[in-house]
Amino acid sequence: MNGRTQTRRAASIAAITAATIVGVATAGADAPKTPAETGIEQLTQAAGDNPDAQAAVQATAKSAQLIAAAKLQDIGFTPFSYMAPTLGCGHNMPFSLAAANAITAGGPDGAIAGPPGTMIVQATVQQDGFPLASGLSVAWLNVNNGRSGITALDDRTDYNLPSLSKTVDSGPGTVVASLWGTIDYPAARCVVLPTVGLFTVPDAPAAAPVNPGDPNQGNPVNPGGPVQTTTPPVNPGGPNQPAAPTTTNQPPLIAPGN
Count of domains forming the chain: 1
Which range of 32-36, 37-41, 90-94 scores highest in mean pLDDT? It is 37-41
Q: Span 71-94, mean pLDDT? A: 76
Residue 94 lies in a domain: yes
Which comes out higher in pLDDT, residue 246 or 30?
A: 30
Residue 143 lies in a domain: yes
Whole-prediction pTM = 0.63
Tens digit of each residue's pLDDT (9 = 90 or more) over 130-149: 999 999 999 999 988 999 99
Whole-angstrom Cα distance, residue 176 to residue 192? 18
Residue 3 lies in a domain: no
Which range of 55-59, 74-78, 194-198 scores highest in mean pLDDT? It is 194-198
Residue 253 lies in a domain: no
pLDDT band at 112 (very low <50, low <70, confident <90, very high): low
Share of the chain above pLDDT 90, in %: 34
**Nearest to residue 131, comparing CAs of 102, 110, 157?**
157
Whole-angstrom Cα distance, residue 151 to residue 179? 10
pLDDT band at 125 (very low <50, low <70, confident <90, very high): very high
Report the chain's mean pLDDT, rounded to a whole number: 74
**Nearest to residue 105, comparing CAs of 175, 50, 160?**
175
Residue 174 lies in a domain: yes
Residues 165, 178 contacting (CB under 8 angstroms): no
pLDDT band at 200 (very low <50, low <70, confident <90, very high): confident
Can you give the residue range of the structural domain that contains 146?
35-201
Residue 132 lies in a domain: yes
Residue 96 lies in a domain: yes
Rg (CA), the chain: 35
Above 60 in pLDDT, residue 49?
Answer: yes
Residues 67, 199 contacting (CB under 8 angstroms): no
Q: Give the E-state strand segments of the chain in sequence order.
A: 84-87, 95-104, 118-125, 133-134, 137-142, 148-152, 165-169, 173-185, 188-201
Residue 220 lies in a domain: no
